[in-house]
């Protein structure tokens, strides 16, 4: 049975049992506790936490999940994947243990012809929480499972919570017996390799405190209603129904391994569980995970989600290289994943070009890193051999890995080829320290879910009616006032509170558009609206400052949006859509929105793209945007279903979760069509001129355009024009001739600076003889150590140091010069040692290491020449004075 069919059978089974099918949420959700969605119940957390009321009391879904806690372990075992699909059925205060156990049993054991999976009932072993007599009785008396096949286990195995205070409960897991060839008898308590878990039924009834019942602590309370949360592993069930050994042999991952065999020349499974097999499995697992992450809008970066994606992609490339691949392989792997996953996720097809571009772009960049990393390794290896060593230090290997992205496996392989070993223990220690810091940061960022119960009754019973699409003024009633997380009846002058209205013209911050500003005027008070946010997606919270009198629950107020604010905000938001359309026209469909922010007169637009935009590309984007302004397109809004909107060609923002009804904003028909709940102008001409301020990087693979619209654009252009006019007047040219005039001035300045540098070098060279004459002799070695004139850069120091060194010819000599830069406060310094002195055991690198701390810096280099820089000018004299003692010490140690 193919994986796609397993998914369909699961959903059909529960839809027939009255469950509402819910599409998978994005892997990226706005949750402070999660980097990625890692369990099927995550999108339903607001219902379990009591923050929102579900539209249906029964739901079912196949949720995309990613877990990345132990990426290095992937492939070592065959049971775990970073990406997996979690099938689940959920009850929100509806059915409980008896029903959910029956639903699961029927699906697993019913014949294939009747829509089930057709599993042998005698191979299924349920486990229950140690004190859950009710679940054990249902399994035995209602389902008919013999008591000897029902095992009781402790909290670590059979209690579930989210890892933070919140809902939880005992659970019942279902295991499948794969047979004696996989291990010993005795059920899952005896061997979880033979008995593989396929389904977990969570009876969510408790509220856990700071300490989890998984660790033996009692719950702190009971949930107001009993809920059900289940998770069935699609991949594990596929193993069973397809009769294969592990997930890497199923229809989703086996094709990737086959392609990897073709492009590397290696063979999977030649030696069971070999290092090569692990690399094949890494390629298969990570290729699928990477594609799904890119699909949901993640781009490679150096932190957070982007770092995880980069790490996965680089492990693919690394593994393929170690298996024998010599060129680019990423597109082949990604294309294979596209073929296997598209039946379940058809949106892959429409986003394929973007996915391919991101993955291939990262591979291209990393292959260059491998080239540079190879050179760095060779330098490190040469230093080890020069000292007679045979082992590359763990610190050096860690720097190659952490700073330069050079994989440890390649370091070990290349060290072996060079006749060296690697201090793997030292490397592992540094990696463990890094992981400990990362885990500490992660724990510090985790937080208990905010208590939003104060808003629950409003979310359930009084959702705010939004009037802002049609008006900026409305009469409304105050339904609630919240101060310090508590409901209050009144808000006196000077207080800052949240006001809940029955209806509002104020736009709540969403989709990158900042909230409206304005006033609330009641019978006894006046308040300035500072911000508007939504809770539960249904209720607008107006954060206000009461500037006069007081507001009270029950008051009728005049809600007035600042017209100037709204107008300029609309211009910026519509301007964002124009720039998005123009950008895709210039760069193509792989440039996709990655975020935006609009406030009156100003916008910034983030998008995925691998390289910096040229000045010509920016000019074209600005021109196309302003052509749309000049064309005066009509701006239409259409409310329709999500499927119909996509059929119309409307673009959606990745990572955003849309409801069944969506709002499409259309500017000029096919010119721009996007899903958007924001407020826009009526005609594109109302945006006013669009002026792009610039473009920059905000992370690997993500760029940002900033721009002005409307009067802010006009004021900016007027200011630029005034500056240009003033400069033109002073230079006695027209504004149009300014670029040529500045080019001439720049050329003259560069020529003058070149002449000045030549004079300075000549002057310094002339003084070299004076420094050489001042040399002192230390045990036969001539030592020159001097502070030269301020403002001498490192390059000039090198010139005079080489000159001084050359004047000593074949003599043993050490030359050290230091200078001070009055503007930057930096202290460049350099050391040069003749070949004869090097033979005596002296090293320029050791000299700069010795004097560097005295000027608040450090340096390094070769035995014959080394340099560095410090930041403490006051230490120069001490550094110069320290050279002679260092030479004396080095010579005595070399005897």
Q: Which residue ranges make up the annotated binding site for Zn(2+)?
A: 573, 577, 676, 680
Tell me the angle at which helices 738-773 and 794-807 cross, rounded to the nearest 10 degrees.
30
Tell me the angle at which helices 330-341 and 254-264 cross, rounded to the nearest 10 degrees.
160
CB crowding 556-577: b at 16 or more within 10 Å, else e? ebebbbbeebbbbbbbbbbbbb
CB atoms < 10 A from the CB of 873, how many?
Answer: 18
Quote the tokens at residue 124.
Answer: 């299924």
For residue 694, the number of C-alpha atoms closer than 13 Å in the C-beta half-sphere is: 3
Residue position matching structure tokens 């878990």: 197
| Cβ atoms of 874 and 825 closer than 8 Å | no
CB atoms < 10 A from the CB of 158, how many?
Answer: 23
Size of the chain, expressed as the number of residues it contains: 895
Q: Kindly report the CA angle at 294 between 290 and 298, in degrees rounded to 5?
A: 110
Distances (CA, A) of 716 to 602, 615, 693, 719: 11, 19, 9, 5
Quote the tokens at residue 58.
Answer: 């029964």
Residue position matching structure tokens 């050179």: 375
C-alpha span between 1 and 107 (Å, rounded)? 14
C-alpha span between 569 and 572 (Å, rounded)? 5
| Cβ atoms of 107 and 9 closer than 8 Å | yes
DSSP annotation of 140 reads I
C-alpha span between 469 and 679 (Å, rounded)? 6
Q: Kindly report the CA angle at 682 between 541 and 622, in degrees rounded to 5?
A: 100
C-alpha span between 501 and 527 (Å, rounded)? 13
| Cβ atoms of 23 and 61 closer than 8 Å | yes
C-alpha span between 109 and 46 (Å, rounded)? 33
C-alpha span between 314 and 406 (Å, rounded)? 9
Contact partners, residue 745, CB within 8 Å, separation at least 6: none
DSSP annotation of 139 reads I
Which residues pair with residue 578 across a beta bridge?
Answer: none
Residue 628: in which H helix or E strand, if any?
A: helix 615-631
Q: Is 508 exposed, middle or buried (0-12, 13-18, 19+ CB in 10 A)?
A: buried
Positions at the binding site:
573, 577, 676, 680
C-alpha span between 565 and 681 (Å, rounded)? 13
| Cβ atoms of 867 and 876 closer than 8 Å | no
């Amino acid at each position: 049975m193919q994986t796609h069919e397993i998914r369909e059978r699961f959903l059909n089974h529960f839809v027939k049992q009255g469950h509402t099918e819910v599409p998978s949420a994005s892997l990226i959700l706005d949750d402070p506790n999660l980097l990625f969605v890692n369990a099927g119940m995550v999108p339903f957390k607001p219902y379990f936490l009591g923050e929102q009321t579900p539209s249906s009391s029964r739901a079912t879904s196949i949720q995309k999940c990613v877990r990345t806690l132990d990426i290095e372990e992937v492939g070592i075992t065959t049971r775990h994947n970073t990406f997996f699909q979690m099938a689940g059925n959920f009850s929100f205060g509806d059915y409980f243990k008896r029903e959910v156990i029956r639903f699961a049993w029927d699906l697993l054991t019913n014949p294939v012809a009747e829509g089930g999976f057709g599993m042998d009932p005698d191979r299924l072993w349920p486990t229950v929480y140690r004190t859950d007599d009710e679940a054990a009785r249902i399994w035995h008396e209602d389902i008919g499972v013999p008591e000897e096949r029902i095992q009781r286990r402790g909290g670590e195995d059979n209690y579930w919570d989210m890892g933070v205070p919140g809902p939880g409960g005992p659970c019942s897991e279902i295991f499948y017996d794969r047979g004696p060839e996989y291990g010993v008898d005795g059920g899952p308590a005896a061997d979880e390799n033979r008995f593989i878990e396929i389904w977990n039924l969570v009876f969510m009834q408790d509220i856990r405190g700071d300490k989890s019942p998984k660790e033996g602590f009692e719950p702190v309370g009971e949930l107001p209603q009993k809920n059900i949360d289940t998770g069935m592993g699609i991949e594990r069930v596929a193993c069973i129904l397809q009769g294969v050994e592990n997930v890497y042999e199923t229809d989703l991952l086996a094709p990737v391994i086959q392609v990897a065999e073709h492009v590397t020349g290696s063979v999977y499974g030649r030696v069971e569980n070999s290092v090569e097999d692990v690399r094949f499995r890494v390629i298969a697992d990570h290729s699928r995970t990477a594609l799904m992450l890119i699909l949901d809008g993640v781009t490679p970066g150096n932190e957070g989600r982007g770092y995880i994606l980069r790490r996965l992609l680089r492990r693919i490339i690394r593994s393929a290289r170690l298996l024998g691949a010599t060129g680019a392989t990423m597109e082949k792997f990604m294309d294979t994943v596209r073929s296997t996953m598209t039946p379940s996720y058809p949106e892959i097809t429409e986003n394929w070009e973007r996915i391919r571009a991101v993955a291939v772009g990262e591979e291209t960049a990393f292959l260059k890193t491998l080239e540079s990393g190879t050179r760095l390794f060779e330098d490190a290896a040469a230093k080890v051999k020069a000292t007679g060593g045979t082992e590359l230090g763990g610190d050096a290997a860690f720097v190659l890995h952490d700073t330069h992205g050079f994989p440890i496996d390649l370091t070990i392989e290349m060290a072996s080829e060079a006749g060296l070993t690697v201090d793997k223990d030292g490397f592992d220690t540094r990696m463990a320290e890094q992981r400990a810091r990362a885990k500490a940061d992660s724990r510090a960022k985790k937080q208990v879910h905010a208590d939003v119960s104060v808003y629950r009754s409003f979310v359930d019973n009084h959702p705010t009616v939004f009037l802002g699409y049609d008006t900026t003024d409305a009469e409304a009633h105050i339904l609630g006032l919240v101060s310090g997380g508590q409901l209050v009846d009144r808000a006196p002058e000077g207080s800052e509170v949240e006001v809940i209205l029955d209806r509002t013209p104020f736009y709540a911050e969403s989709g990158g558009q900042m909230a409206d500003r304005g006033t609330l005027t009641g019978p006894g008070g006046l308040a300035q609206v500072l911000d508007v946010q939504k809770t539960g997606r249904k209720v607008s919270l107006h954060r206000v400052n009461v500037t006069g009198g007081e507001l009270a629950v029950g008051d009728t107020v005049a809600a007035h949006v600042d017209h100037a604010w709204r107008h300029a905000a609309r211009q910026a938001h519509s301007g964002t859509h124009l720039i998005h359309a123009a950008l895709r026209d210039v760069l193509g469909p792989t440039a996709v929105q990655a975020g935006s922010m609009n406030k009156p007169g100003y916008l910034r637009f983030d998008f995925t793209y691998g390289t910096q935009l040229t000045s010509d590309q920016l000019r074209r984007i600005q021109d196309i945007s302003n052509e749309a302004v000049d064309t005066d397109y009509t701006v239409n809004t259409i409310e329709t279903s999500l499927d119909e909107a996509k059929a119309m060609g409307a673009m959606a923002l990745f990572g955003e979760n849309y409801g069944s009804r969506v709002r499409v904003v259309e500017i000029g028909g096919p010119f721009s069509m996007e899903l958007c709940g924001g407020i826009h102008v009526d005609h594109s001409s109302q945006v006013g001129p669009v002026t792009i301020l610039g473009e920059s990087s905000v992370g690997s693979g993500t760029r940002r355009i900033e721009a002005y619209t409307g009067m802010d654009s006009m004021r900016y252009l007027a200011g630029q024009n005034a500056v240009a006019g003033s400069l033109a007047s002073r230079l006695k040219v027209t504004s149009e001739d300014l670029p040529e005039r500045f080019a001439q001035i720049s050329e003259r300045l560069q020529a003058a600076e070149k002449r000045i540098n030549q004079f300075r070098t000549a002057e310094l060279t002339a003084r070299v003889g004076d420094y050489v004459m001042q040399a002192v002799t230390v045990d036969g070695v001539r030592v020159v150590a001097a502070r030269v004139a301020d403002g001498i850069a490192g390059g000039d120091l090198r010139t005079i140091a080489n000159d001084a060194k050359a004047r000593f010819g074949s003599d043993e000599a050490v030359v050290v010069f230091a200078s001070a830069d009055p503007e930057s406060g930096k202290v460049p310094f350099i050391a040069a040692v003749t070949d004869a002195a090097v033979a005596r055991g002296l090293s320029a690198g050791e000299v700069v290491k010795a004097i560097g701390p005295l000027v608040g810096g450090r340096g390094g280099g070769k035995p014959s020449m080394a340099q560095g820089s410090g930041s403490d000018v006051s230490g120069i004299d001490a550094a110069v004075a320290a050279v002679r003692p260092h030479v004396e010490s080095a010579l005595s140690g070399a005897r």
